[in-house]
Amino acid sequence: MENMKAVRVHNYGGPEVLRFEDAPRPAPGSGELLIRVHAASVNAIDWKARAGYLKDVFPLPLPFIPGWDVSGIVEAVGSGVTKFKKGDEVYARPDAARNGKGTYAEYVVVRETEAALKPKSIDHVHAAAIPVVALTAWQALFDTAALSKSQRILIHGAAGGVGSFAVQLAKWKGAHVIGTASGRNQAFLRELGVDEPIDYEKTRFEDVVHDVDVVFDTLGGDTQNRSWKALKKGGILVSIVAPPSADEAAKNGVRSAFFSAHPSSSQLAEIAKLVDAGKLKPVVETVLPLSDVRRAHELNETGHARGKTVLKVT
């Protein structure tokens, strides 16, 4: 069996447990693609899996390769694959939880239903920054909250990976966007298209935000608890970090939802069109080589990144 370079986790812990080493190169099965990885980006789910926080949700076989974002070139296809061929430039959000073989590697196998042709107008580094955060924002805003034109939405963590895509997608839909971020990111929020930026270091958002149709919670905790007051009757709070209280929702006459994003080839194809049309722009703050993965995790764990950290593999 051929080997490849990959990052593996042999035991749960801090960034120091990430090992850049040789690992078996995977082969595509029926309905699968083998992708030569050019770039993979870092998401909160990566370090949460590494630390062991998710082992009760989806047990990963140790050692496992983290990574849920990839952009690269199809190296080979398995039987039954009809939409892709060798040499295609693709990006994907594979379900790494199914076998513990994620995207922090020179090669990764993904299902045909998890991949789409990457946006033509950007390179692999920027394409790799898109799948997880864009699918999360898309599914939260449109599939779950049914956000529509002229509605008002409050987006927490609007300068982050998911938040920055949520802002752009909400603006594309024609919504009025209110976004929270730190003082250093206020100008950045305006660049993204936020109509009402709020500096959470100076202003308590619930003092100035009322009657929104949707709250998109990317932070949880106290921020989520204070968000009920910002919603209008019949509005919805959607969280991607912690299940909102059904009692609080009922007490405030609103709805709530908690969800995790799922792979979608068709939605990635739609997102690629928006990127190529100039409607969506991935925000990459830091690019590091795969061998510097520990530093990448340290940066992501601060929770204060603007946009994404990307691991360049090729």
Q: Give me the helices (H) in the chain, please.
A: 44-51, 124-128, 131-138, 161-173, 186-192, 205-208, 221-227, 246-252, 265-276, 293-301
Q: Is 56 exposed, middle or buried (0-12, 13-18, 19+ CB in 10 A)?
A: exposed
Residue 214 three-state SS:
strand
Whole-number pLDDT of residue 141:
98
User: Which class is 133-258 in CATH?
Assistant: alpha beta
Among 71, 66, 18, which residue's Cα sits nearest to residue 44? 66
Instruction: Report the distance separating Cα 66 and Cα 220, nearest Å.
Output: 24
Whole-number pLDDT of residue 95:
87
Number of Cβ atoms within 10 Å of the Cβ of 239: 22
Q: CA torsion sign, 48 to 50 to 53 to 57?
A: positive
Number of Cβ atoms within 10 Å of the Cβ of 278: 8
Identity of residue 226: R
Whole-number pLDDT of residue 115:
98
CB 251 within 8 A of CB 271: no
**Burial 137-159, CB ≥16 within 10 A → b, else e:** bbbbbebbbebeeebbbbbbbbb
pLDDT values of the chain reduced to their tens digit, one per residue, 314 residues = 799 999 999 999 999 999 999 999 999 999 999 999 999 999 999 999 999 998 888 888 899 999 999 999 999 999 999 999 999 999 999 986 777 899 999 999 999 999 999 999 999 999 999 999 999 999 999 999 999 999 999 999 999 989 999 999 999 999 999 999 999 999 999 999 999 999 999 999 999 999 999 999 999 999 999 999 999 999 999 999 999 999 999 999 999 999 989 999 999 999 999 999 999 999 999 999 999 999 999 998 887 667 799 999 98
Whole-number pLDDT of residue 56:
86
Whole-number pLDDT of residue 170:
98
Residue spans of the domains in the chain: they are 3-130+282-312, 133-258
Residue 74 three-state SS:
strand
- CATH architecture of the domain formed by 3-130+282-312: Alpha-Beta Complex (3.90)
Q: Does the pTM of the predicted model rise above 0.85?
A: yes
Whole-number pLDDT of residue 307:
77
